Amino acid sequence: MSIFSLVTGRPGPSGFGSATTAEQVTEGIDASDVTAIVTGGGSGIGFETARVLALRRAHVIIAARNVDAANEVKHLILNDDGDARVDVLELDLCSMKSIRAFVDNFIALDLPLNVLINNAGIMFCPYQLSEDGFEVQFATNYLGHFLLTNLLLDKMKATARVSGIEGRIVNLSSIAHLHTYKEGIRFDDINDQLSYSDKKAYGQSKLANILHANELSRRLQGNQNLCKKSNST
């Protein structure tokens, strides 16, 4: 999408553009057979994503570091629709320990998993390291979602195999992926503090999100477990 289209909201080949709402995109969809995890669903884009998925009858799991904010979102959704299915689980994407605990807690619910929306992220942070020793934007925006996705892949494959519903993994990125370090991703200097730029580090993490999505697509293309077409599509 060009900058002009992004600013004006002009629709692209899909018929949708930056001015299109989530309700417009999902109009007419019945997602009652779908279970979706939305990371960072307690605010912003994640909130709207969780709200509209619930509106379309999906069972939504809001994965959030701020559980109080996520529960407020849950109550707002339930106030609008008492039949909505929304649950909240704690997830701090900056912590490998928290990610593994989240996956364990989700698996314990014995729910299917059709959709994983890797939405959560942080932006333009001063230099700091995560508890696992990685630059915090790269850790939260990319590494956390990478680990989360890998740990949930088997569940998604099993769900697609049993249900016949095609699975979806969505990595949210940004046009900021064009504005990173000259090397693109500093694989050998992720934690370099001397030349750290909060904006370029953010762009680096968003570029990693796109590369992750592309590689997932390549590996899963033709995989009948995850990418199985539903009879209704």
Q: List residues with catalytic annotation.
A: 196
Q: Residue 220 carries which side chain, given as an amino acid letter?
A: L
User: Which residues, in sequence order, are bridge partners of residue 88?
Assistant: 62
Question: Phi and psi dihedrals of 160, rounded to 5?
Answer: -65, -40
Residue 42 and residue 48: Cα distance in Å, rounded? Answer: 9
Task: Please name the helix (run of DSSP H) or strand (run of DSSP E) that holds residue 62, with its range, or none.
Answer: strand 59-64
Half-sphere CA count of 24, side-chain side, radius 13 A:
9
**Complete edge-to-edge strand list for the sheet that includes strand 115-118:** 85-90, 59-64, 35-39, 115-118, 168-171
Torsion-angle region of residue 66: left (phi > 0), alpha (psi -120 to 50) or beta?
beta
Which residues 6+ apart lie within 8 Å of 172 measured at CB?
A: 45, 117, 118, 119, 121, 209
